[in-house]
Structure 1
Amino acid sequence: MNMLTSANRLEDLAQLAEACRETFLAVAADSHWAPAPRSAASQAKRLASSQDPASTSVGHMAGFDLISEVLVTYLEVAAGHLAGLGALYRGGEVMFPPLPLARSIIENCAAVMWVIGTTSPSEKILARAYLAEFASCEFAKIAAGRMGSEDDDAYKDANQRWTVTRARAIAAFPGTSNQDLSDEKPGRTLAGEMLPGLEASVARMFKFVHEQAQGSVSERQALGIYSFLSAGTHPSLYQARQMRIAVDHGDHHGTDLKIEISHVENIARTAILAFYNALSYTISFYGLSREPHDNLTDAIELVFPGSLT
């Protein structure tokens, strides 16, 4: 593939990645994430209101507000990373930088689908939202404590949020202990739900899409993709070595980096379709207009014909 064709193709990928974020913003602006009547989200809202004795206050979400905050935040992060992916493609930075972004996009999308779940809404969705919120609060607390001291306001604020969230989760699901919410084996649990690890969450998402929507990626393949993206995120050697080609400079031998446009396309497609599916699942959950998502469907079909069928 010549350089001009590659540049044109990268621009196609950049525009499609940016279209994902624009679609997220369009859905948010149109709906404000308010559940439609008789939607699964409206049912979840009623259940969460009766299950959670806490009320939303400044800095602390409760009930369906918490569920919605968790879902929308995961999607927002994924959409932002897709815009970043678009910037990388437009700038021609296709060797190493896209891999961490693609991994994070997929992880956030998997988290969305885990929180919503695969069955009819029940109190379990509130439990999953609390697990996600509590783990996030604990990460913030640990980070603040390590970057400063326990006397710093940042740590005190993070610790206070962590304490309140734990107390609210226990109050919503009586019988839960501090030990249940800890990260010790077998893992954080609430109302019989366990917070999955990142790899397990990603595998679960791809398995669900493969089985329910005839997705092209199996659970085993998903684990392979995730391992590949993880190797491109953490210190690793084999990917760089695979891209190198030997060059004889006369007075010395060196290497250049070479990557096939098909490889770039595969990374982009995997991240974009993960977001596409997670956003579709969320739109269905809330019972929202599908027009923005339908426009994204058309855009994907133009760039990756047949990938949605």
Structure 2
Amino acid sequence: MSRRDPLTIAVLMFDQAPLFETSVPISVFGADRSDMGVPRFDLRAVGGDPGPLTTTGGIRLTAPYGLDALADAATVVVPSWRGPAQRPPEPALAALRDAHADGATVVGLCRGAFVLAAAGLLNGRRAATHWLYAPALAAAYPDVQVDASVLFVDDGDLITSAGTAAGIDACLHLVRRRFGAQVANTIARRMVVPPQRSGGQAQYIEHPLPDPDTNDPLGEILSHAIHHLDDPDLDVDSLAGHALMSRRSFDRRFRELTGTSPLQWLLTQRIMRAQRLLETTDLSVDAIARNVGFTNGIALRPHFRRILGVAPQTYRDTFHARTA
């Protein structure tokens, strides 16, 4: 069993890395939100280069921790890197490899994926990065399966994401996976960001998802779907019918707006609702399945496991009765 503390988060910072990306995991894990029921994380800002570190706008940072702080962190986040053509310093790479081998989950946000790749952690693995840097990552590390289209990739012990706001999505996803949906949603509300964007959502979306109050028919349909998730007859065909569109037109319009399929969006909404019911009620798995539009628990379980990586009962055993 790993001796690493699940509440200890190490953020590995480098010289000349962008300030925003560097601050993302610090914003998610560094604030004390224990008054709202969120666990108090032990955040360790670690210098990957000799300090002080210079970042965007010439701002200088001094990291209070050295590489030895990675030794007992359950999560190590590399929020960015200075440039695709440069190789990270070997001491930092060795510390990352050691932490990963000892059971730490390693996260690379945006150009941080280059650091994970340089450490050899992404060989044979699927990984995301900002679409602008994806060709450089694929060229420099041909053994990495680079996915330039998605917001983030959760590959179990390794998580990688696209840039800027997608880094927030990846960090909140990690919170949700480890501490439950309610804790992740509380942090998201405090940060005033969406509580969940699917990792498979496209990095670049032409238009924002329409609000029901804008009189956009699709916005009204999505609001209708959210309020009728318990209806087993609610499917993509019925949503297209409510929108007075053909199935093909509805699918195309939905993908243009969200970068994902209406079927995947609807399934994700149902699993999110099931998460909340597992955390906050004593309903049986079969009853919860019916409450989110599945015929029974047997129908719910494979979708729940595929999206969250665990069975519904395992999720309940971990997160039931936690409040935030």
Q: TM-score interval w.r.t. the shorter chain?
A: under 0.3
* Greater RCO (Cα-Cα under 8 Å, separation 6 or more): 1
- The structure with more radius of gyration: 1
Larger helix percent: 1
Larger strand percent: 2
